[in-house]
Amino acid sequence: MPRFAANLTLLYQEVPFLDRFREAASDGFRGVEFLFPYEHPAQEIRKRLDDTGMTQVLFNAPAGDWASGERGIAALPGRQAQFRDGIELALDYADALGCRQLHVMAGCPEAAASPEQCRATYLENLAYAAEQAAAHGVTILIEPINPRDFPRYFLTRQDQAHAIRQAVGASNLKVQFDAYHCQIVEGDLAMKLRQSIANIGHVQVAGVPARHEPDTGEVNYPFLFRLLDELGYAGWVGCEYRPQGATRSGLGWLKPWLRATATQ
């Protein structure tokens, strides 16, 4: 059965961030992910992981000025030095948290930016990140994101992501498959998983189109969870959605899967 990780950026916002680990553990989650850890000392987060027995599954490398609307800098020409500093910081946190996967966000180039120059910058930065991460036993992930949520985001399609992965040629560079984004941009989720499962490092889920609980909207997630088992997917499924109400009251969709996992 899939292993589910609570996204602590979006879930359990009823309590402060450092208290969300305990809340997730009490609901049966065994792993956590979140966008960014950098507002908190790594050892504070490590303590929460140790106290709850949680696995830190994933977080993002620094992504520029998030508050002003930046959504990554890996494909932004001229920001390479800042990108490299961010990778160094992220790997320090990954070591402290025992996290073996790091998501690197491409960013949203200006409309006038050269696509060719952005792609060359992206390849250069990803090659650097993968080389640095390899020494730490960390896999770098790239994620196609729909342009409705993030206008002008550089990476939007699964085939584009896998072409980038192949062009970089690093064995520790994989694709993050977010079913919410993929459904909005392309659909055909089952075939995308079948075609690329060997090079998918992480899966995330949310209801489409509103990004609420996975049992809301147009995607048949029980079918996809069974397909992940059929395909032998051994990674985590990140629950990266916005609860319609209190997090705990919306977890009915998850309870049968957690019970099945607990019996393994």
Number of alpha carbons in the 13 Å side-chain half-sphere of residue 175? 29
CA distance 255 to 208: 20
* 143 among known catalytic residues: yes
- Burial call 26-60: b when 16+ CB within 10 Å, e when fewer: ebbbbbbbbbebeeeebeebeebbeebebbbbbbb
Q: Which of 203, 204, 145, 139 is nearest to 174 (CA)?
A: 139
First to last CA, the chain: 8
* 39 among known catalytic residues: no
Contact in structure between 91 and 134 (CB atoms under 8 Å):
no
Angle at 141 between CA 114 and CA 48, to 5 degrees: 130
* Tokens, residue 71: 């959504």
Q: Which of 23, 33, 213, 240 is catalytic?
A: 240
Q: Which of 143, 186, 213, 218 is catalytic?
A: 143
Q: Which sequence positions are flagged as catalytic?
A: 143, 240
